[in-house]
A and B are shown apart, each in its own frame.
Chain A
Amino acid sequence: MSTLERDVLSRSELDALVREREAELAELKAQLNEWIEAYDATPKRDASFTTISGRELKPLYTALDRADADDTEAVGLPGFYPFTRGPYATMYRTRLWTMRQFAGFATAEETNERYKYLLDQGQTGLSVAFDFPTLMGYDSDHPRSLGEVGVCGVAISSLADMERLFEGIPLDQVSVSMTINGPAIILFCFYVAAAEKQGVSPEVLRGTVQNDILKEYQAQHAWVFPPEPALRCIVDMLEWCSTHAPKYNPISISGYHIREAGATAAQELAFTLRNGFEYVERAIARGLDVDDFAPRLSFFFDVHSDFFEEIAKLRAARRIWARAMRDTYGAKDPESWRLRTHAQTAGVSLTAQQAENNIVRVAYQAMAAALGGAQSLHTNSMDETLALPTEKSVRIALRTQQILAFESGVTNTIDPLAGSYFLESLTDALEQDAQAIFEEVDALGGVVPGIHQGWFQQQIAGSAMQQQRDIESGRRVVVGVNDFTDGSGDIQIDTLKIDPAVERRQVDAMARMRASRDNQVVTRTLSDLTTACRTDENIVPRILDCARAYCTLYEIRHAMEDVFGAYKEPISF
Chain B
Amino acid sequence: MTDPQRRIRVLVAKPGLDGHDRGAKVIASSFRDAGFEVIYTGLHQTPEMIVSAAVQEDVDVVAMSVLSGAHMTLFPRVRVLLDEAGADHVLVTGGGIIPESDMEALEALGIGRLFGPGTRTTDAIAYVKDWIAHQRTQ
Query: Which of A's residues lie within 8 Å of B, judged by CB?
Result: 132-133, 135-136, 138, 144-148, 151-152, 216, 220-222, 260-262, 348, 351-353, 385-387, 461, 464-465, 468, 472, 478, 481-482, 491-496, 498, 569, 571, 573
Contacts and interface: CB of A to CB of B under 8 A. Distances in A.
Contact of A493 (B21, B25, B98, B120): B98
B116 A468 contact: no
B109 to A, nearest CB: 16
A145 B43 CA distance: 15
B86 interface: no
30 contacts: A132-B16, A135-B17, A138-B17, A147-B16, A148-B68, A152-B18, A216-B19, A220-B20, A221-B20, A222-B17, A222-B19, A261-B21, A261-B22, A352-B97, A353-B118, A386-B97, A461-B25, A468-B26, A468-B121, A491-B100, A493-B98, A493-B100, A494-B99, A495-B98, A495-B99, A495-B102, A569-B43, A573-B25, A573-B29, A573-B40
B74 interface: yes
Contacts of A496: 69
Given A261-B22, A461-B25, A464-B25, A481 B69 contact: no
Interface centre among A144, A221, A481, A491 (most CB of B within 10 A): A221
Contact of B42 (A352, A464, A481, A569): A569
Interface residues of B, number: 33
Contacts of B20: 220-221, 260-261
Interface centre among A222, A495, A571 (most CB of B within 10 A): A495
A493 B68 contact: no
B26 A152 contact: no
Contacts of B19: 216, 220-222
B117 interface: yes
Contacts of B122: 472
A151 B70 contact: yes
Contact of B70 (A147, A461, A464, A493): A147
Contact of A465 (B26, B74, B99, B102): B26
Contact of B68 (A132, A144, A352, A571): A132
Contacts of A495: 69, 97-99, 102
B31 to A, nearest CB: 12
A352 B116 contact: yes
Nearest to B24: A461
Interface string B86-121: 000000000001111010000000000000111011
A351 B19 CA distance: 20
A221 B16 CA distance: 12
Contacts of B70: 147-148, 151, 498
B73 interface: yes
Contact of A148 (B17, B21, B100): B17
B72 to A, nearest CB: 8
B120 to A, nearest CB: 5
A352 B46 CA distance: 28
A549 to B, nearest CB: 26
A351 B17 contact: no
Nearest to A490: B100
Contacts of A387: 97
Contacts of B25: 461, 464-465, 573
Given A351-B117, A385-B97, A494-B99, A148 B26 contact: no
Contacts of A138: 17
A432 B29 CA distance: 30
Given A132-B16, A461-B25, A493-B98, 16 more contacts: A132-B17, A136-B44, A144-B17, A148-B17, A151-B70, A152-B69, A216-B19, A260-B22, A261-B21, A352-B97, A386-B97, A468-B26, A481-B118, A482-B120, A498-B69, A573-B25
B40 A152 contact: no
A540 to B, nearest CB: 26
Nearest to A221: B19
Nearest to B71: A495
A506 B117 CA distance: 32
B15 to A, nearest CB: 10
Nearest to A465: B29
Given A351-B117, A386-B97, A495-B97, A136 B29 contact: no
A472 B120 contact: yes
A493 B116 contact: yes
Contact of B74 (A135, A147, A468, A573): A147
Q: Which 6 A-B pairs have the closest CB atoms?
A: A221-B19, A132-B17, A352-B117, A147-B73, A493-B99, A481-B118
Contacts of A152: 18, 68-69
A351 B26 contact: no
A146 B118 CA distance: 29
A150 B68 CA distance: 11
B69 A151 contact: yes
Interface centre among B25, B42, B44 (most CB of A within 10 A): B25
Contacts of A351: 117-118
A569 B24 CA distance: 15
Nearest to B67: A152
A447 to B, nearest CB: 19
A289 to B, nearest CB: 35
A540 B70 CA distance: 34
Contacts of A132: 16-18, 68
Contacts of B42: 569, 571
Contact of A133 (B17, B22, B43, B102): B17
A387 B70 CA distance: 12
Contacts of A220: 19-20
Nearest to B99: A493
Given A144-B46, A569-B42, A461 B17 contact: no
B78 to A, nearest CB: 13
Nearest to A385: B117
